[in-house]
Amino acid sequence: MTSKSCSDTPSADQLMALDNQLCFALYAANRAVTARYRPLLKELNLTYPQYLVMLVLWQQDQSVQSPKVSELGQRLRLDSGTLTPLLKRLEERALVNRTRGTDDERVVRVCLTHSGRLLRAKAVSVPERLMCGVDVEPARIASLRGELRNLLEILERVEPSEQ
């Protein structure tokens, strides 16, 4: 007998099978979920990443200061190359204002406009309506969400040592 049994060392074929990869499951599930959001967000005229930005802004609307672009980026794990044009489109639609800082002229703070705040009322029904007609127990959703956050946290913790 060798030190490891067959079940311990899957073949290269098995390791490379599409359906055995976490990456593809994540990739496909993510697109299936965003596809489910799409018709709901279309009613708000928002894309999915734009909706995420609005969620952050709605959540922090009570804060003393509007978030910087970099703070939105940290929260959503997006860089300025993604956020800058996205925020400009939201600004064109008068949902947000981008204002250059007075003390530090490098920073841009993003705050909601009146219509941006109003849009929240139309968005509150989205989370409930999303899983309408989909037979999944809320507890399983919550557990899956927890597992994904755990994975994300571990991956982000490891990065600094690698690379």
Partner DNA sequence: TACAATTATATTGTGCACAATGTATTTTTG
Partner DNA sequence: CAAAAATACATTGTGCACAATATAATTGTA
Query: Which residues bind to a second copy, rule: CB under 8 A?
Result: 12-13, 15-34, 36-37, 39, 48, 52, 55-56, 58-59, 75-77, 120, 123-124, 127-128, 130, 133-136, 140-141, 143-145, 147-149, 151-152, 154-156, 158, 161-163
* Segment contacting DNA by CB under 7 A, of 16-24, 57-65, 104-112, 119-127: 104-112
d(CA 161, CA 141) in angstroms, rounded, equals 32
Q: How far is the CB of 107 from a second copy (least distance, A)?
A: 22
Q: Give CA separation, 30 vs 17, 24, 37, 160, in Å.
A: 19, 10, 11, 26
Taking the least distance from each CB to a second copy, the nearer of 32 and 64 is 32
Q: Residue 85 or 146: which CB sits closer to a second copy?
A: 146
Interatomic CA distance for residues 78 and 70, integer angstroms: 9
Smaller CB separation from a second copy, 77 or 106: 77
Q: Report the run of H or E that residue 109 belongs to, with start and end.
A: strand 108-112
Residue 57 as a binder of DNA (CB under 7 A): the answer is: no
CA-derived radius of gyration, the chain: 21
Nearest-angstrom CA–CA distance, 54 and 60: 10
Relative to beta strand 108-112, strand 96-100 is antiparallel
How many residues touch DNA (CB under 7 A)?
33
Q: Work out what residue 28 binds among DNA, a second copy, none; the CB cut-off runs from 5 to 8 Å by kind.
A: a second copy
Please identify, using beta-carbon distances, which residue of 94 and 152 lies nearer to a second copy. 152
Tell me 68's DSSP state: B
- Residues constituting the chain: 163
